[in-house]
Structure 1
């Protein structure tokens, strides 16, 4: 596999890793369209999208039978990449109607999960949802144009980002970013982070489109997140914990579990690093990191994926989402230049969408990897920024 020398942001060129390995444009496009169709309207043991009434829809977490800001914002990002405005608007209308707070300490944040009928299960937000909502809305604005509220996409994105940075300045609530370190928090009230939440490639774009006074913060956040990931990822295995302190060390066990290890949340870190390299190529460490991670997983069969300490010691506990982990290992090939990059792309190509109860998270990561490795996970900017 070859890598281009310049980033997609400046060149407008996106690598198609599948094409580099000999797959045709026609079969790649067909694979992407079929996967999107399967997620939306496929068999009941594959689909994760469900329309509601005339104007709403949701992505269902099939393992927990709830609707999460993670999946809703992921679905919106998938929809804008696939140029599917109807699905995008349905997801956004559901999230806006049932999940976004209109007052109180969480005003303009989103309750992180609810029932399929819109009843909130928890009031608190999860910041990975807010950052994906905002980026998807900016892309929608650039790709389709803004309409009347709530489809004034760019304004809606700015409302979310404004809350993310300034919540609590009136004395009620907390921001989603730690202002001292410029790092995203696990939840607004927490004094630690989640490495898989770090999306410096999004923050670079927020710095172009957020409120003018906040743009320097987003540029600093991008640099801070890239530096943070170097401390959170193990220098030999490349594995990162699910939760980590602001210095990158694994966070102490929480009331709801022990998240010091490499498990479900942490899979996304490799994908985020790969996409950041594809879009901006700002940190050569990302190449070394992606090689390390792939080298660790190369001898392990997908069916043998497990929970691991970040120094690579396996637990008896198997991975809940082996297909999702394979997908992110493959997406690391956007940055990796080692001998394992081709192996993971081919293995991913030969792996179908997951079926069954646990399919939701796996197939979200799967579809993002399919987009990215086909050169179709793209930046959309308003003309004056492009």
Structure 2
């Protein structure tokens, strides 16, 4: 398949703007808020605010995780999503050029995958092919193809998106079987995403790397029913993984939704699930459970106190860390977009008023802050 054979992507006819319609902010206030946040994220103080670093003497740039002292495909992918949504083509191209030249393997069993780091128990990290980053990059490339076209510059966005999807979907076939333990990114039977594409991750996933809204769009682009089936599987998995009373979703789960030993808690990685749930509801709105889940989740935090809840919990609700975390505040605000609770406006307001982290811990907080601003202003769109 070539770029000009890709099917067009179709999203909703309208995108809710909670900052305007719930908080009463003007279009000018919203635009200024987003532009200021982008400038800080990409061009602010290099030690306190920015995560975007151009490579001197090149047309490349990377997203830096100061806390973990590394470049992760998660940050690369989210940086590409943010820049394509904001029509920042130069920054987008620089990030993708870096990823292609530095992170994407050119040979061996993992050829085509992007190198990254994955967290393991004990607070350490291992080299891996992280499905979260891979999927964000692929989606960003499809959006770039739709927004800018693939024949107007030096990068064929559509072809790069097709190639990455082929690697994730057919890696084992490309390798003539499982080579050095490397597998497809998606389990061919359940259509769920492996925790990472390796035989050691069989039967294990992360709810936060299941992205049905993306899969529906890939089904449109590729005309491959596998992706629609993957979307249905992901939605079912979220229901199986979420705690029935608190709504909290664990970091890692088995394919049947039960938590993986030592990962049976709600922490920073799991926050990302909330964004995927909100996007799926806004873009496709096919699963009423998602609204029920949003109400249940915010109801849990409201019982603790909207300005008092911590950052890490057992999924039954027992608090493991009482220290507030801005990234969770931002994702709870996104959850407020699709919730119906009476106090949902307070969660949306908290996104508007809470500053993202600065210094060493800024990477995750500032990326999720920018994504929450785009989502709550109706600017996280399908192109």
Aligned to 2:295: 291
8 Å Cα contact 1:99-1:110 kept in structure 2: yes
Select 1:107's aligned residue among 86, 97, 111: 111
Distance 1:10 1:241, change over 3 A: closer
8 Å Cα contact 1:58-1:72 kept in structure 2: yes
8 Å Cα contact 2:306-2:347 kept in structure 1: no
Cα drift, residue 124 of structure 1: 2.7
Select 1:247's aligned residue among 232, 256, 267: 256
- Stretches of structure 2 that go unaligned for 5 or more consecutive residues are 1-8, 119-124
8 Å Cα contact 1:196-1:265 kept in structure 2: yes
Question: 1:170-181 residue pairs with structure 2 within 5 A?
Answer: 170-171=176-177, 172=179, 173-181=182-190
Stretch of structure 1 that moved more, 305-314 or 241-250: 305-314
Aligned to 1:34: 36
1:96 aligns with 2:100: yes
Give the secondary-structure state (helix, strand or coil) at the position aligned to 1:291.
Answer: helix
Cα drift, residue 355 of structure 1: 1.1
TM, length-normalised to structure 2:
0.89
Distance 1:100 1:209, change over 3 A: same
Aligned to 1:206: 218
TM, length-normalised to structure 1:
0.89
8 Å Cα contact 1:106-1:124 kept in structure 2: no
Aligned to 1:13: 14
Measured in 1, the distance between the counterparts of 2:335 and 2:136 equals 20
Measured in 1, the distance between the counterparts of 2:305 and 2:157 equals 43
8 Å Cα contact 1:135-1:202 kept in structure 2: yes
Provide Cα deviations, 1:74-96, integer angstroms capped at 9, x if missing partner: 00000000100000000001100
1:329 aligns with 2:332: yes
Provide Cα deviations, 1:277-299, integer angstroms capped at 9, x if missing partner: 01110100000000111111123
Measured in 1, the distance between the counterparts of 2:373 and 2:90 equals 21
Aligned to 2:369: 366
Distance 1:134 1:150, change over 3 A: farther
1:196 aligns with 2:208: yes
Measured in 1, the distance between the counterparts of 2:12 and 2:277 equals 19
Aligned to 2:305: 300
Aligned to 1:341: 344
Cα drift, residue 150 of structure 1: 6.7
Measured in 2, the distance between the counterparts of 1:135 and 1:184 equals 15
Select 2:232's aligned residue among 223, 234, 237: 223
- Stretches of structure 1 that go unaligned for 5 or more consecutive residues are 1-7, 115-120, 253-257, 381-386
Provide Cα deviations, 1:2-24, integer angstroms capped at 9, x if missing partner: xxxxxx95542111000012111
8 Å Cα contact 2:330-2:350 kept in structure 1: no
Stretch of structure 1 that moved more, 91-100 or 303-312: 303-312
8 Å Cα contact 1:303-1:322 kept in structure 2: no
Give the secondary-structure state (helix, strand or coil) at the position aligned to 2:67.
Answer: coil
Measured in 2, the distance between the counterparts of 1:150 and 1:242 equals 39
Measured in 1, the distance between the counterparts of 2:90 and 2:239 equals 39
8 Å Cα contact 1:330-1:344 kept in structure 2: yes
Give the secondary-structure state (helix, strand or coil) at the position aligned to 1:205.
Answer: helix
Please tell me the root mean square deviation across aligned C-alpha atoms, in Å.
1.9
8 Å Cα contact 1:35-1:353 kept in structure 2: no
Give the number of aligned pairs: 357
Give the secondary-structure state (helix, strand or coil) at the position aligned to 2:266.
Answer: coil
Measured in 1, the distance between the counterparts of 2:381 and 2:153 equals 25
Aligned to 1:124: 128
Measured in 2, the distance between the counterparts of 1:326 and 1:352 equals 10
8 Å Cα contact 2:117-2:130 kept in structure 1: no
Measured in 2, the distance between the counterparts of 1:100 and 1:122 equals 17
Measured in 1, the distance between the counterparts of 2:144 and 2:110 equals 25
Provide Cα deviations, 1:142-162, integer angstroms capped at 9, x if missing partner: 111114897100110111111
